[in-house]
Amino acid sequence: MSQLTLNAPAKLNLYLKVINKRPDGFHNIKTLFERINLIDRVGLKDNTRGEIRITCNHPHVPLGSKNLVYRVADLMRTNYGMPDRGVDIDIQKVIPVAAGLAGGSTNAAAVIMGLNRLWRLKLQHKDLIAIARQIGSDVPFFLYDTSWAMGTERGDKIRPLKIDRKLWHILVVPKVKMHTPKVYGAIKIGKKEGQGNIGGSEGTNLLTKPGDNANILVHKLRNSNIINISSLLYNDLEKVVVQICPRIKKLKEKLKSLNAMGVTVSGSGPSVYGLTDSETAAKQIQAQLSNRYTQVFVVRTF
């Protein structure tokens, strides 16, 4: 095998609770991941020059060492005794960049799986997960063959979930730059464990002790209607995202006015999604938003 191509799907966070700050500077969270059918294509091909070369159809994707896929390839060839091994990586982007949909992370996961096959490393799943956790907090989720999973610790400790339901979403990605470190950096931890605020001592309380709403949401996904599900969607980071970019609040209100349910920011934003009861309903909302927003998607659990 000298080349292969893999799918790299996006994710939504249907629930995201920030618990506390870790000694390593990251945050412990509890999140419910949903894989969706917004999918990049990642091609891998051996090259004989010993170089890691990246091409991409999106102008804002870095083609050098700042790209997570470069870090994956460099780490794997170093760790497994192939410092001169080369690979061409072509990324065909469909997932919007820096949107809270884990586009870079899913590309990285695809390259981890792809290089294991391309370079015949014969690594076990636990080895692939160990690599993924070194690359990024969202990367491990995409190494599991599951539509749904609970993520804890940095979001990188994954528990796959058996949920048969497929949800329809309307997804809007406004043209706003939202950087994950900046969003998490706006969270301040208070003196008491599990307490915090945005920006300073007079800010809104943000960090709370993790409740059981994530598990209730999982139960509702298995057993209840979409209205009950939508009432439990939640993201602690949304308060920060709206503070950084107040017009995201207006987008949320617009989606609600068009009968989208449970309208929530995904991850560290700026993507905003809502539930609909059918593909038709999602497409009707899409038609009403497409003149105002250039990135409006109808997506489903994948």
- Distance from chain centroid for Cα 97: 11
Same-domain pairing of 226 and 247 = yes
How high is the pLDDT of residue 211?
Answer: 55
Question: What is the residue range of 257's domain?
Answer: 168-300
Q: What is the pLDDT of residue 179?
A: 83
pLDDT of residue 198: 41
Does one domain contain both 142 and 181?
no
Query: pLDDT, tens digit, for every residue of 45-58?
Result: 999 899 999 999 99
CATH number of the domain to which 71 belongs: 3.30.230.10
Three-class secondary structure of residue 174 per DSSP: coil
Q: Are strands 157-161 and 86-92 parallel, antiparallel or unpaired?
A: unpaired
Choose one of 129, 161, 193: the last residue of a domain. Answer: 161
Tell me how many domains the chain contains: 2
Tell me which residue of 8, 108, 90 sits closest to 54, measured CA to CA.
90
Residues labelled as active-site residues: 11, 138
Whether residues 255 and 134 share a domain: the answer is: no
Q: What is the pLDDT of residue 185?
A: 87
- The per-residue pLDDT for range 66-78, each reduced to its tens digit, is 999 999 999 999 9
User: What pLDDT was estimated at residue 297?
Assistant: 98
Average pLDDT by consecutive 10-residue portion of the chain (302 residues)? 93 96 93 98 95 97 96 96 94 96 98 97 98 98 98 98 97 91 77 38 43 89 96 95 94 98 96 98 97 96 98
Same domain assignment for residues 156 and 179: no
Residues 196, 70, single domain; the answer is no
- 12 with 155, same domain: the answer is yes
